[in-house]
Structure formats: C-alpha cells, structure tokens
Amino acid sequence: MRSPGRGVAAVMIDLDGTLLDTVPDLAVAAARMLVALGLRECSREQVRSFIGDGIAVLVRRCLQAQGGTAHAEALHAEA
C-alpha cells in the first residue's frame, strides 16, 4: 500500500519462466559444467525439471542425475 504523495519504491519482476524462457541457456551452461567435470550432459527436459530453487540446487541436481548423491557432494564446490 502506498502513502499519498510517495512514488513507487521498488518493482519486482519474475523473469525466469514468466517473461523469459531461460531453460535453453541454463541447459547449455549445465552441459558445459558437466562435461568439464567428465560427466555426461543432462537433457534440456531434465534441466527444466531441476529449475526452481536457485542455481546451487540446480547444480546439485545436475550432478546427482549424472553421478549420484555422494558424487554430487564431492563435486559440488568444484562445479
């Protein structure tokens, strides 16, 4: 609620999945990360399903999909 005579202090916009489809870019970035770590790429649809809780969680989910949970924990910092 605005006070009379005051301008807008902030505007928040949800870009990812609302105004922009960033899945293709995130899938390419995830693929490059995985290949650099010697793992195979995730599909674009896998990456799409991993999106939603921030980049650290996306990285962890990609690692888990390609090497399991223990492997993901071991590589997370490097990734």
Cβ–Cβ < 8 Å for 78, 34: no
pLDDT reported for residue 50:
95
pLDDT reported for residue 29:
96
Q: Which residues are known to be catalytic?
A: 14
Q: Tokens standing for 21?
A: 């489809």
pLDDT reported for residue 10:
87
What is the reported pTM? 0.74
User: What DSSP designation does 7 have?
Assistant: -
pLDDT in tens, the chain (79 residues): 556 667 888 888 877 667 888 899 999 999 999 999 999 999 999 999 999 888 999 999 999 998 877 777 888 888 8
Instruction: Name residues whose C-beta falls within 8 Å of residue 50's C-beta, 6 or more positions apart in sequence.
Output: 42, 57, 58, 61, 62, 65
Q: Residue 2: which region, alpha, beta or left (left: phi > 0; alpha: psi -120 to 50)?
A: beta
